Structure 1
């Protein structure tokens, strides 16, 4: 069973929340927040290639100093870096009695995953952070390592959904945490 919800990020970007329940007994749920505002790879590659072509044609016409060349190349490499590390979606997979897996998918196809075993999960909370002139809400997992050391692991750091979207995810995760 799958539920879709459109929401915004704290920066006003359009997001899509997809909640999938993978089994009938509701022991496994997947929460995916997809960034709908990311430009396609083709658009970004086209922009970077145009910058490079304009720069090369400019270099052929005029003599360029080394400092200007280095400055332009830094800008081009920065754009390529942004292309590679732009986040496409973030997914939280919760499997009761097994653990939580958080996956970040980048626009270029790279994925970064983090697994938290079920016995380490103490709670899942919606926390707030104050950033200059605004309050930002975020979902976090409290894990217990060893004796008394507790860690707070924030989730959905790149897509930063608003509170209404976080509440939907929170309710689903708390339902699964309540089963154990």
Structure 2
């Protein structure tokens, strides 16, 4: 008794085999679909590709800050996957560029940020935009970038 047209509740083919040991003893074996090496490889490769894609899409390769005195500041982030995100802030909206500090756990972390003017009150700050969030450079590097920014801001 072997029938290859039987299916399980999901529609997958199953096999049924009946083995007669004696008149009073029979063994019925129901076997599900076999797990092939091909399907194992496909699933494994799929998981690895998804993990790699998740890593590449979120890993920032480099960040850049382009300051043009008369126009504004362009912020760019390039990801390992090749994707790029770019934003531009007009010079008229920038109040200042400062080095700020934050306490994180038991450490003090320094970061460079742009202070955005409040449209209603030009002397107030409406928001703070942190720079180099992924690369997290140390204070020595931030001071060099800060000096460069201040030189250009002073000219405009």
Tell me the equivalent position of 1:158: 134
Tell me the equivalent position of 2:18: none
Cα distance in 1 for partners of 2:103, 2:49 equals 34
- 1:112-136 Cα offsets, whole Å, 9 max, x none, are 0110100011000000111111111
Quote how far apart the aligned CAs of 1:76 are: 5.4
Query: Using a 3 Å threshold, how does the CA distance of structure 1 residues 146 and 159 change in structure 2: closer, same or farther?
Result: same
Q: Which has the higher helix share?
A: 1
Tell me the equivalent position of 1:96: 69
Residue among 142, 145, 150 paired with 1:169: 145
Point out where structure 1 has 5 or more consecutive residues left out of the alignment. Answer: 1-58
Please say if 1:128 is aligned against 2:104.
no
Normalised by the length of structure 1, the TM-score is 0.58
Provide the alpha-carbon RMSD of the alignment.
Answer: 2.4
Tell me the equivalent position of 2:88: 115
- Structure 1 residue ranges (4+ consecutive) displaced by more than 3 angstroms after TM superposition: 72-76
Cα distance in 2 for partners of 1:111, 1:168 equals 25
Cα distance in 2 for partners of 1:81, 1:152 equals 29
Quote how far apart the aligned CAs of 1:79 are: 3.4
Q: Which has the larger radius of gyration?
A: 2
Matched positions, count:
117
Cα distance in 2 for partners of 1:108, 1:83 equals 5
Normalised by the length of structure 2, the TM-score is 0.66
Tell me the equivalent position of 1:145: 118
Cα distance in 1 for partners of 2:155, 2:135 equals 28
- 1:30-60 Cα offsets, whole Å, 9 max, x none, are xxxxxxxxxxxxxxxxxxxxxxxxxxxxx63
- 1:8-28 Cα offsets, whole Å, 9 max, x none, are xxxxxxxxxxxxxxxxxxxxx
Cα distance in 2 for partners of 1:109, 1:161 equals 22
